[in-house]
Amino acid sequence: MGTLFRCTTMPEFYKKSLLFLIGLLIVDGLLAALFMFLSQPTYALSPALRDGIRWEPVGVTDAQTGGTSSIRLRDARPGELAFDYRLTRDGRYPFAGARFVVKDAKGGMATVNLRDYETITFVARCSPAYPMMLGMTVFDDKVSVPGELITYRSPGTFFSCNERGVPVTIDLRRLTMPSWWLWMMKLPLSSQDYALDKVAQFSFGSSSQTPFDTDAHAEISNIKLHRHDYRYIVALALILVMSWTLFGIWFFRTHTRTLAASLNSRLKKDLPLVAYRELTLQPYRDEEKASILKFIATNYTNPELDLESVVASTGANRNKVNDLLKAELGMTFTGYVNKLRLTEAARLLTEKSTATVAEIAYSVGYANVSYFNRLFKEEYDCTPKAFRTLAPDAASADTEPPPKMVGNG
């Protein structure tokens, strides 16, 4: 693992983290779309046999109550209704419309359990444009007689309809029982309860506002029942929490290890620089160069050290000092002094756990702790406190400890 992290720089880590983050967002987005879709299952009123039942379209009028209204079903796609009708005044309860009736495999009357479904949606087109009525027929164990639909509860509601087509959404749990049915069954007006566990049919037809003796046409398409399966929402929430938690753990741990490895590499590069520049008498035959480098290496911890004091102490020309540092190290005087101080501060942070950050800042030549903190963070990409925490990890990332600076320890 140590080798892996030594090969990964902080920019590479951030690039990899960004790619992981984008990938996680894409995967989570796809999962969210899938789970949201799965959490809202639909049910179609299909004429095909399914689970032992099918929905058969049937025309219905007020003929049973002495009416003369008429209806004619037209060809429509499976699960849709299209019909022409004409409403007359002759019957006691004028009505004309079409129904989807539940039939069993043998063609007998049946019921279906729809209690998990909450709403029904469809598109309603009609000419002329008048409100129509949605009715639902459900078996009631207390009052209904099997096979006699007139005794089944028939809650319903009105919906808008026009030539262009109106998208309709109706809450199946908030329908109203018609007063004529309650009167016929000798039930109080307050008897509005009904269940969806034994639904026998859905009807779409005329309302009290439908004109009499007028040819009318209606189309009810895209009929679907909807419900919510909250298990998918819970599963999605758990997946999102787990994925982001794992990403957070991975990011924190990898960031810590990568930063520690980066600091280790920086220390190995910088500490020999300090040790070498302190021993400047041997490498340089040029006494003036040796004098300048030795003075800086032995006095960089002095807060008063500046270019003028170097010139005054070594007798070197001001431009000579800057030219030497740029030629030998590629640094300015200020950059080199800060490099020496910050590298020594890094060493002290790793070796003197009892010393405070302020004490270390003062010991390497900084009178202003805030200024030291800012320079240190610019150099090592973390604060001195964070560096001290990461330093043991950085040191353990290699089998060879970083070389210590000679002198001034």
pLDDT in tens, 92-137: 889 999 999 999 999 999 999 999 999 999 999 999 999 999 999 9
CA distance 320 to 315: 10
Residue 21's pLDDT band (boundaries 50, 70, 90)? very high
Q: Specify the pLDDT at position 264.
A: 67
Residue 262's pLDDT band (boundaries 50, 70, 90)? confident
Instruction: State how far Cα 314 lies from the chain centre.
Output: 65
Q: Do domains 43-227 and 240-396 have the same CATH topology?
A: no
> How many residues in total does the chain contain?
409
Average pLDDT over residues 142-170: 94
Cα torsion 375, 378, 383, 384 to 10°: value is -50
CA distance 384 to 390: 10
Closest CA relative to residue 126, chosen from 67, 234, 205: 205
Top-level class of domain 43-227: mainly beta
Q: Specify the pLDDT at position 403.
A: 38
CA distance 261 to 2: 8
Of residues 159 and 329, which shows the higher confidence score?
A: 159
Q: How far is CA 392 from CA 9, 250, 264, 289, 358, in A?
A: 18, 20, 10, 37, 20
Peptide bond before 131: cis, by omega within 30 degrees of 0? Answer: no
Please compute Rg for the chain using Cα positions: 43
Average pLDDT over residues 184-204: 94
Closest CA relative to residue 214, chosen from 97, 91, 127: 127
Structure tokens at 344: 């020594």
CA distance 12 to 323: 35
pLDDT value at 363 more than 70: yes
Cβ atoms within 10 Å, residue 190: 8
The CATH homologous superfamily to which domain 240-396 belongs is Homeodomain-like (1.10.10.60)
Per-residue model confidence as pLDDT tens digits over 207-239: 989 999 999 999 999 999 999 999 999 999 999
CA distance 83 to 16: 62
Q: Specify the pLDDT at position 378.
A: 86
Q: Specify the pLDDT at position 320.
A: 82
Query: Hey, where are the domains in the chain?
Result: 43-227, 240-396
Which amino acid is present at 318?
R
Cβ 102 vs Cβ 201: under 8 Å: yes
Tell me the pLDDT of the chain averaged across its residues: 85
Per-residue model confidence as pLDDT tens digits over 27-47: 999 999 999 999 999 999 999
Residues with Cβ within 8 Å of residue 159, at least 6 apart in sequence: 124, 131, 132, 133, 134, 166, 168, 170
CA distance 319 to 310: 11
Average pLDDT over residues 157-163: 95
Which residue is listed with tokens 């990890």?
A: 393
Q: Specify the pLDDT at position 392.
A: 57
Residue 268's pLDDT band (boundaries 50, 70, 90)? low
CA distance 122 to 32: 26
